[in-house]
Amino acid sequence: MITTAIIVAGGLGTRLRPLTEKTPKPLLPIKGKPILEHTINHLKKHGVKRVVLSVGYKANKIKRYFKDGHKFGIKISYSLETEPIGTGGATKKAAAKLKNPFFLLWGDNLTDVNFGQLYVEYTKNKNKITMALTRREDVENFGVAKLHGKKVTTFIEKPKREKAPSNLINAGVFVLDPLFLKLLPKGKSSFEKDCLEHIAPLGNLFAYIHEGQWFPTDTLEKYGLANKQFIPGNC
């Protein structure tokens, strides 16, 4: 089982202003707890023992809240973005010392993905990158996948709705070997565009379909919906 996760949580949260003017997005409350705390608790339930938080905007507030993770029963360390370097750059920097496969999550989503099942699928896929997909109608806001069986044959980041190959979108949850991060250039990069879009046609990207809860929180409208409908501890 995988025991390490990286959570990319360094964004500015501009679409959540004025809520994020003083509070970083990962600390915004959902059902009485910060978004990031729900994610960390869920990872812990699935056997994850170490979390690397990739942080940037108001990083000190996040560090003061989570510290070393002791009070949450998990080991937490930090990878600091001194300037925005994209999802690819943030992931590559946070994973620099990792040698074994890890879970990768975007920190502004709330989900009850079963990480144990995701790992099983990863092993079935012979350790190729495996990503959680969920169904949405507003596909133009996300990365969209086209499948052949469980293999992702095409991945397109934020296509126009009428040109999207399916309604299966990137849920922001992956399992991968750090060796794949060699595909990313140094400095700023997009994990979606500079990695996933390139490896999908090569047969190195597989899907895990998540049918449970999945709430993005990157806009005021989506954050409000998550606050109403998300059920903590549901998996």
Residue 51 included in any domain? yes
Distance of CA 76 to the CA centre of its chain: 16
Count up the domains in the chain and report the number. 1
Domain that holds residue 207: 4-229
Residue 234 included in any domain? no
Give the residue ranges of DSSP H helices in the chain. Answer: 35-45, 59-66, 86-94, 115-124, 191, 197-199, 220-229
pLDDT at res. 165: 86
Joined together, the tokens standing for residue 28 give 């915004």
Residue 235 included in any domain? no
The per-residue pLDDT for range 62-94, each reduced to its tens digit, is: 999 999 999 999 999 999 999 999 999 999 999
Average pLDDT of the residues in 85-109 = 95
234 pLDDT tier (thresholds 50, 70, 90): low
| Dist. CA 107–CA 232, nearest whole Å | 16
Question: Domain containing 17 — which CATH number?
Answer: 3.90.550.10
Find residue 29's DSSP bridge partners.
34
Residue 79 included in any domain? yes
Residue 167 included in any domain? yes
